[in-house]
Amino acid sequence: MNDNISGLILAGGRGTRMGNVEKGLQPFRGATMVEHVLRRLAPQVGPIAINANQNLARYGELGAGFGALVLPDETLGFAGPLAGLEAGLRYCATELMLTAPCDSPFLPPDLAARLLAALRAQDADLAFAATEEPGMRRQPHPVFCLVKKSALAQLSAYLAGGGRRMDGWHAGLKAAEVVFDDGAAFRNINTLGELQSLDEASAPSLAQLAARVAGYDPEALPVRHAQRIIGEYVTPVGAVERVALRAALGRVLADDIVSPISVPAHDNSAMDGYALRDADLAGGDAVTLAVAGTVFAGRPSGVAVGPGQCARIMTGAVMPPGCDSVIAQEHVAHATEHAITIAPGALRPGDNRRLAGEDLMAGAAALARGRILRPADLGLLASLGIAEVPVRRRLRVAFFSTGDELRSIGEPLDAGCVYDSNRYTLYGMLERLGCDLIDMGIVKDDPAALEAALRSACENADAVVTSGGVSVGAADYTRQIMAKLGEVTFWKIGMRPGRPLAFGRIASGGRSAFLFGLPGNPVAVMVSFYFFARAALLRMMGAEAAPPPPLLKVRAQAPIRKRPGRTEYQRGIVTLGDDGVQQVRTTGAQGSGILRSMTEANCMVVLHDEQGDVAAGELVDVMLFEGLV
């Protein structure tokens, strides 16, 4: 760290190349790009700041751990990196400032040291990086620049004259060029495709993730380990679109929303009554105040309230200048058209006054990206005058059932056949997540049919969910085909119901999709979906702010049998006991084919690995179905 150098990360663009989401806020390798730059730059400098013109609150949150300030341009109109450089130099408290762009997460750890050495050795005003790769011309990188604070005057004059070139502003100043060997360290990530390809290239394989799990055993994998591997393996879709506010319900917010106005915009009355000055009530006796006029909501009033006066005011009306409180009309001891009398102690200073910005201040973060927008969020956005919001594009999910014994609704049932219920439960669960669905029907137990279905699903969807064909008795070709199309692992999860599970990523026709191979038993399909696929699909949707369904502690109404060493999910019914305390009982038989038990249940009783039998009255974890199924 060099305390004589301030650091500045340039993140002041519009993000037009990234689907109107700023580069610095794009997710990359488990963090945002600006966080990667912060981590590399912070150890090389003293004070550090981020130049940004949008989403200032979000940048402030990301930079807080590094003590980073957020500085907007002072030259208006998105004038480019030079405007950010100007803002940084204006507030720079050190002799020197080092800049780096937010879309270069690989910058070298010795950037500051080498630029400083060249600047001192050549007695230069600024030093910038360059690269020279074999067979190619030298490439300057002027946004990686160490500059003296004294250069501010020339830079501001250049900007004021309409200049915008990063390599043209320092004419007449002495510049030192420092050549670095590693060209990749100065790479800018400019498009979503480039970002995704780099992210995927660095993503760990399933085998690597599994190797990080102590005692990994695919034949007896604990629930928590499978959930962790899946969570680390899946990645969000990158595409963003802007939609009208009414169309945003249930969509995932792609960017932070910063309030453009204060809500409310002015101090206003919380009720119908009289606005007055607190100083007039200071004596402790009954007070009579003259009514100076009436203030209505939504109308300019011009009412002036002087000492010994008040104003009749309606709910939501702007407080007259000098007034501090509002007394409700029903709390006035006596009122006429021209005066009111207030009894002692009828009002406390500040009562019934809503302050400007009490709900939200201009420039404050209103909603964080990754949030699944709810009805209250739409109301909040409408109160800010926001008509369109950036959201992640809908996740495309293909799903099908496998098995020769399955028949679709409307077909006759042959001996030994059953109607396919899994596709309908999968449809319902995926529809509740807000996915775009591709129902591929029933796929027969045939290698060619299964491969064709998986290829088609992969080429048209982001994720593929299947039911059946992953148990011990499944034909060998299932594993072979899935392995042929990508990296897929088959697990036996330490759980009941839903032990067999296939998970991975398959590719076909230049496209790839995450695969969730769920068991075939109807209840096992639902349990596996809720405790494995659901969280992964939400992550793919970009729902960073969507927590897993909460587990609540509820008293067991009767004993529950449980074998230690595996996680059990038993269908349950939560009711109120005679003492008014919630209690839970199971639905009875817990076979994985008894779908009726899921319709009777209003919760899942979650019995963890280490638990054994549960006694009546003991607290157990439950996951309520309301809002989930």
List the CATH code of the domain at 240-262+359-392. Answer: 3.90.105.10
**What are the angstrom distances between the C-alpha of 594 and each of 33, 232, 407, 522?**
48, 33, 18, 7
The alpha carbon of 32 is separated from its chain's Cα centroid by a whole number of angstroms, namely 11
Reply yes or no: is the peptide bond before residue 550 cis, omega within 30 of 0.
no
The pLDDT assigned to 17 comes to: 60
For the domain with range 5-192, which CATH number is right: 3.40.50.300, 3.40.228.10, 2.60.120.10, 3.90.550.10? 3.90.550.10
The pLDDT assigned to 509 comes to: 85
Whose CA is closest to 40, among 28, 53, 58, 52?
28
Q: Is the pTM of this model over 0.85?
A: no
| 73 known ligand binder | yes
Cα dihedral value 595, 598, 599, 605, nearest 10: 160
The full DSSP string for 448-491 is HHHHHHHHHHHHH-SEEEEESS-STTS-HHHHHHHHHHEEEEEE
The pLDDT assigned to 328 comes to: 95
For the domain with range 552-624, which CATH number is right: 1.25.40.10, 3.30.470.20, 2.40.340.10, 3.90.380.10? 2.40.340.10
**Is the distance from CB of 407 to CB of 420 less than 8 angstroms?**
yes
| 51 known ligand binder | yes
Amino acid code (one letter) for 99: T
| 163 known ligand binder | no
DSSP state of 54: S
**Is the distance from CB of 587 to CB of 572 less than 8 angstroms?**
yes
Query: What are the sequence ranges of the domains in the chain?
Result: 5-192, 240-262+359-392, 268-354, 396-540, 552-624
Neighbours of 396 (CB within 10 A): 17
**Mean pLDDT in each 10-residue stretch from start to end of the chain (629 residues)?**
86 69 77 87 92 88 86 82 92 94 88 94 94 78 94 92 86 92 81 69 78 88 92 84 94 89 92 95 89 94 93 96 95 94 92 90 86 94 94 95 92 92 95 95 93 95 92 65 89 92 91 93 92 93 72 94 92 93 90 79 92 95 80
The pLDDT assigned to 23 comes to: 82
**Is the distance from CB of 621 to CB of 556 less than 8 angstroms?**
no
Any idea which residue has 């899994």 for tokens?
Answer: 422
Query: 3-class secondary structure for 150-163?
Result: HHHHHHHHHHHCCC
CA dist., res. 605 & res. 500, Å (int) = 20
| 110 known ligand binder | no
The pLDDT assigned to 66 comes to: 81
**Pair of tokens at residue 469:** 């064909």
CA dist., res. 471 & res. 568, Å (int) = 18
**Is the distance from CB of 417 to CB of 406 less than 8 angstroms?**
yes
How would you class 333 by CB atoms within 10 Å of its CB: exposed for 0-12, middle for 13-18, buried for 19 or more?
middle
The pLDDT assigned to 202 comes to: 61
SS3 258: strand
| 11 known ligand binder | yes
According to DSSP, the β-strands at 139-148 and 96-101 are antiparallel
CA dist., res. 200 & res. 29, Å (int) = 9
Whose CA is closest to 99, among 21, 19, 169?
169
Which H helix or E strand runs over 229? helix 223-233
**Pair of tokens at residue 531:** 């405790």
Amino acid code (one letter) for 566: R
| 347 known ligand binder | no
List the CATH code of the domain at 268-354. Answer: 2.170.190.11
The pLDDT assigned to 469 comes to: 81
The full DSSP string for 435-450 is -EEEEEEEE-S-HHHH
| 23 known ligand binder | yes
Neighbours of 328 (CB within 10 A): 16
**Is the distance from CB of 583 to CB of 574 less than 8 angstroms?**
yes
| Burial call 61-75: b when 16+ CB within 10 Å, e when fewer | ebbeebebbbbbbeb
According to DSSP, the β-strands at 309-313 and 287-295 are parallel
Any idea which residue has 């007259």 for tokens?
Answer: 320
**Is the distance from CB of 551 to CB of 621 less than 8 angstroms?**
yes
Any idea which residue has 């270069």 for tokens?
Answer: 104
For the domain with range 396-540, which CATH number is right: 2.70.150.10, 3.40.980.10, 3.40.50.300, 3.40.50.170? 3.40.980.10
CA dist., res. 529 & res. 520, Å (int) = 12
